[in-house]
Structure 1
């Protein structure tokens, strides 16, 4: 059962990579996966259900790559490590990253916030300790991680050398958060 489910998600990701979100139709999923409409509806309920699961899996994979950076080292190397892990995850998983950027409305906001909680907790603790510039929680991602997101967007469009800019991006994020 899990294999069938994963096959459908893999088919959806391949379709998104080839033609964007609009390429993922029930007909295209059945053709790509070799499964019936019934399997799609059984496992996911709808096309939106496929997207929701694909988003959840991709977001979880991204955070799984990043969270090990959050340790007791001084703030600067942790922030840099977190950024570099994110950049590396994107370069290793461009299809998933492209999907995350293309389909943010398919995120479950409660689940996303819960998954991001360890990152927010680490930043909040370091801000409270004066190791990082105090940034309101709502501004952490757009203000501090803005350079990362814009660089990733350009990389996913094929107009930016993300690998060559890794350290510059990490240094820029640190500069935004440095106390």
Structure 2
């Protein structure tokens, strides 16, 4: 990367950092290019040069946050020794990410009703693919072996991620009575029960260490 390209990449990251901070502080109402330009110290002209539009910047920030989430979810699968351990680790890692990076998680969930995701769907999908593929690659052998239900991957994703994503949405919205620590303790095994093939309880000797996931 040339010095000019390096400076451009640093400017783009500074804009994304500022955009996330602006959204966390003021929500969607304060999420404007003027506020982001002021917070970052980067001119509006440079902002438009790097992202094309306000929607382009928002889509880029969404992609960055989503990739970080997916990478956090995939990370514990490297050491998951069983299908059960892996499914539980995915669910716990999602909720742990929410606890540890609430600003990124809040932006992800706030973006669900936005127009920029549809307008930049192809770009977002391209950014997400390398991050989500390791999760599917981990699951496929377990599906073929009959340990996890054989469903289209999009539906399997909904069964595993859907419950924790909705939990995260409500937690971030401040719904009373929702304890994230309790969700991390309780939901992963319930989600495993929804995707395992056998209705019988697993043998007591099945190696399945508790996911080493926590948050401050």
TM-score, normalised via structure 2 length? 0.76
> After the TM superposition, which residues 8-47 of structure 1 pair with which residues of structure 2 at under 5 Å, given as runs?
8-47=15-54
Question: Per-residue deviation at 1:36?
Answer: 1.0
Question: Per-residue deviation at 1:68?
Answer: 2.1
Other structure's SS at 1:96 match? helix
Question: Per-residue deviation at 1:142?
Answer: 2.1
State the match for 2:170 in structure 1: 154
State the match for 2:87 in structure 1: 79
State the match for 2:14 in structure 1: 7
State the match for 2:213 in structure 1: none
Hey, what's the Cα distance between the residues in 2 that align with 1:176 and 1:25? Answer: 42
Question: Per-residue deviation at 1:21?
Answer: 2.9
For residues 38-95 of structure 1, the C-alpha deviation after alignment (integer angstroms, 9 at most, x for no partner) is 1211222211221122112111211221222223611111111121111111111111
The number of residue pairs the alignment matches comes to 179
Question: Per-residue deviation at 1:126?
Answer: 0.9
Other structure's SS at 1:103 match? helix
2:95–2:168 contact (8 Å) kept in structure 1: yes
2:159–2:195 contact (8 Å) kept in structure 1: no
State the match for 1:136 in structure 2: 152
More helix by share: 1
1:25–1:47 contact (8 Å) kept in structure 2: yes
Unaligned runs of 5+ in 1: none
Which structure: larger Rg?
A: 2
TM-score, normalised via structure 1 length? 0.90
Unaligned runs of 5+ in 2: 1-6, 198-216
